[in-house]
Amino acid sequence: MKGRVSVTKILVYVVLIVGSIIFLMPLVWMVSTALKSGEAIFQYPPKFIPEELHWENFKLALTILPFGRFFLNTIVIVGLSLIGTVLSCAVVGFGFARLRFPGRDVLFFIVLATMMIPYPVTTIPVFIMFRKMGWIDTFLPLTVPAFFGNAFFIFLLRQFYLSIPMELDDAAKIDGCSSWQIFCNIHLPLIRPALITMAVLHFIGAWNDFFGPLIYLTSQRNYTLALGLATFRGMYSTDWELLMAASLVVVIPAIIVFFFAQRKIIEGITLTGIRG
Amino acid sequence: MKRPGYWRREALDGYLFILPWLIGLVVFTLGPIIASMVISLHRWPLLKEPSFVGLQNYIKLIHDPLFHQSLKVTFIYAFVSVPLNLSVALGLALLLNQQVKGLSIFRTVFYLPSILPMVAVSVVWMWLYNPKFGLINYLLRKIVGLFGVEFQGLEWLTSPRWALPALILMNVWGVGGSMLILLAGLQNIPRTYYDAAAVDGANAWQKFVKITLPMLSPTLFFLLVVGLIGAMQVFTQSYIMTGGGPLNATLFTVLLLYNHGFRWFNMGYASAIAWVLSVIIMILTAIMLYTSKKWVYYEARR
């Protein structure tokens, strides 16, 4: 019996390690290609470790298109939409979780229902609306809607608010606190961990967004990194070392945030599933 | 008593607190849904005035071979990719749940790819799929070579036959999120259930079928619904990697919608596509919710 158990264990490790190698391969291949010369990438059989490291690929790739500018644009868009989402969802989530008003449950059901709506159905009218407002080729369509809440995060935060004892609010009410004061002084400090989790999840989503920038940003100086990379790939379809260098630059901020906030992300993702 | 006044105050506060969402709902969701329906009844080249054409866009859609093709491609993608990803995610989660050492490292490795920007992922996989110099064909040649067979490798993205399978395969790289959720689900199953089964002499397979799967079914169901809804709306991969080709083999419905709406600016026709796609997604969701009663096990409903 004992022997069989350890054989199973070894098998588990073998599969996990082989799986890990397969999952890491694309990343290793990307880094390796990004550091090779233009000729070395077409060598056969391919080498994982380049003979010489061509760091200048990064310089070249990042100056062909103004990636520095794209980086700043992305930071501004992601930053503003992050502030908008955190503020609006914190406020709205509080309203749904801690205050009683007629129609609350029906409205909250609508929050849940809107999560199911496929985005294509609203895309065109919203695009036409922003176009009429003269917002095309500005950051506004990518940031302003964030200030009006996000159904999924409102749902997530409401769960956190509900876990805070009602007695806290009652005590504050007796002391004459307004709802706004209860929100700011009692709840905001308590749900900070949840807000951080939400901020990280939003960051990753906004950083990776492609469809929004694609339809709203038209001039190159306003491009985000994702859009810049797509453009770059349209211009240079065979300079793989440059494409990989540029891809790496787009990927690295996401990886850095991931490593700093891994615990938060895993918490957030896990919470998502528990409602299942 | 100042009670009634207090209630009125709290209700007013409640509406004020949810006001941002309420405005957003009207401006960015409900309004556009209605507008989308109205627009779909018009011919509207963006730079000109819209003209009412009734159901003409929908009639055109029924006879549009590209639309048929896009639905076919989207359905194949969704119905192969989602079960495939769920199986891989479940397999990995089960392995990680075996009290392995280095759990957090394995978890990071499997999860990391799923948070990377899709544009970058697409560019990297184009290179991996390169028929001549790509890593995947190189490895395929090696493996097939072990059997002493000469093999050229596949054309992948440039072949009408293999382009869609290539996108489905690439999507497996992003199973990390589902894996984490399933792992959490597995860890929530009380150990005592397995202990009791062991006492009754159940083997590993019986435990899996009789305990793990039923206990995990709500999580699997959630992932299935979310996965299918998402897969019906894929866009970025085909936009970057194939442009819908070759021979429309990867022309997803949202890509067709994008082409009509944002390349050719046929706002009416694009809205009709959006509506049909959304109705299909809603019907799918409804079917899944309806049939879920038969196979999803909720503890509270015992």
Are B220 and B90 within 8 A, CB to CB? yes
B255: domain range? 64-301
Interchain contact, A95 vs B229, CB within 8 Å: no
Report yes or no: A262 at the B interface, CB cutoff 8 Å. Answer: yes
CB contact residues (below 8 A), chain B span 139-198, against chain A: 173, 177, 180-182, 184-185, 188
Interchain contact, B120 vs A275, CB within 8 Å: no
CATH of the domain at B165: 1.10.3720.10
Other beta carbons less than 10 A from residue B258's beta carbon: 23
H or E element, residue B285: helix B267-295
Give me the percent of chain A exceeding a pLDDT of 70. 96
Could you tell me if residue B48 is inside a domain?
no
In whole angstroms, what is the distance from residue A53 CA to residue A145 CA? Answer: 44
Interchain contact, B127 vs A33, CB within 8 Å: yes
A25: domain range? 2-54
User: Do A186 and A104 belong together in one domain?
Assistant: yes
B20, B117, B135: residue with CB nearest A46: B135
Specify the number of domains making up chain B.
1
Interchain contact, A251 vs B120, CB within 8 Å: yes
Interchain contact, B11 vs A211, CB within 8 Å: no
Res A99: pLDDT: 92
CB contact residues (below 8 A), chain A span 118-157, against chain B: 118-129, 131, 145, 147-149, 154
Could you tell me if residue B15 is inside a domain?
no
Q: Which of B3, B119, B142, B280 is the mutation pick for testing A, counting most A CBs within 10 A?
A: B119
Dihedral-angle region of residue B54 (phi above 0 means left; psi in -120 to 50 means alpha; beta otherwise): left
Q: pLDDT tens across A196-228, in order?
A: 989 998 999 999 999 999 999 999 999 999 999
User: Do A38 and A85 belong together in one domain?
Assistant: no
Taking residues A221-247, report their average pLDDT.
92
CB contact residues (below 8 A), chain B span 55-94, against chain A: 92
- Strands, E, within A120-233: which ranges? none
Structural tokens at position A198: 């939400």
Could you tell me if residue B56 is inside a domain?
no
Q: pLDDT tens across B229-276, in order?
A: 999 999 999 999 999 989 999 999 999 999 999 999 999 999 999 999
User: Do A114 and A39 belong together in one domain?
Assistant: no
Specify the number of domains making up chain A.
2
In whole angstroms, what is the distance from residue B302 CA to residue B295 CA? Answer: 13
User: Do A37 and A114 belong together in one domain?
Assistant: no
In which residue ranges of chain B is pLDDT below 50? 1-2, 301-302
Phi, psi dihedral angles at B112 (to 5 degrees): -45, -50
Structural tokens at position B51: 């003209």
- Above 80 in pLDDT, residue A1? no
Phi, psi dihedral angles at B42 (to 5 degrees): -125, 155
Interchain contact, B262 vs A88, CB within 8 Å: no
Could you tell me if residue B94 is inside a domain?
yes
User: Do A145 and A81 belong together in one domain?
Assistant: yes
Residues 6+ apart with CB under 8 A from B38: none
Q: Per-residue confidence at A51, pLDDT binned at 50, 70, 90?
A: confident
Res A5: pLDDT: 65
Report yes or no: A27 at the B interface, CB cutoff 8 Å. Answer: yes
User: Do A184 and A242 belong together in one domain?
Assistant: yes
Residue in chain B lying closest to A203 (CA): B115
Interchain contact, B117 vs A265, CB within 8 Å: no
Q: Per-residue confidence at A70, pLDDT binned at 50, 70, 90?
A: very high
User: Do A134 and A262 belong together in one domain?
Assistant: yes
Residues 6+ apart with CB under 8 A from A30: A244, A247, A248, A251, B124, B127
User: Do A140 and A248 belong together in one domain?
Assistant: yes
Residue in chain B lying closest to A22 (CA): B173
In whole angstroms, what is the distance from residue A204 CA to residue B225 CA? Answer: 22
Q: How far is CA B145 from CA A25, B12, B152, in A?
A: 20, 74, 10
Could you tell me if residue B214 is inside a domain?
yes
Could you tell me if residue B71 is inside a domain?
yes
User: Do A214 and A84 belong together in one domain?
Assistant: yes
CATH of the domain at A123: 1.10.3720.10
Report yes or no: A63 at the B interface, CB cutoff 8 Å. Answer: no
Taking residues A263-267, report their average pLDDT.
80
Q: Which of A124, A177, A243, A269 is the mutation pick for testing B, counting most B CBs within 10 A?
A: A124
Res B250: pLDDT: 96
User: Do A186 and A247 belong together in one domain?
Assistant: yes
User: Do A42 and A82 belong together in one domain?
Assistant: no
In whole angstroms, what is the distance from residue B20 CA to residue B136 CA? Answer: 49
User: Do A156 and A46 belong together in one domain?
Assistant: no
Among A70-84, A149-163, B93-107, the range of highest mean pLDDT:
A70-84
Res B301: pLDDT: 46
In whole angstroms, what is the distance from residue A22 CA to residue A273 CA? Answer: 26
- Give how far A23 is from chain B: nearest CA, Å: 6
- Give how far A221 is from chain B: nearest CA, Å: 19
Q: How far is CA A51 from CA A35, A39, A245, in A?
A: 9, 12, 17
pTM reported for the whole predicted model? 0.91
Are A153 and A202 within 8 A, CB to CB? yes
> Can you give the C-alpha Rg of chain A in angstroms?
24
A9, A154, A269: residue with CB nearest B177: A269
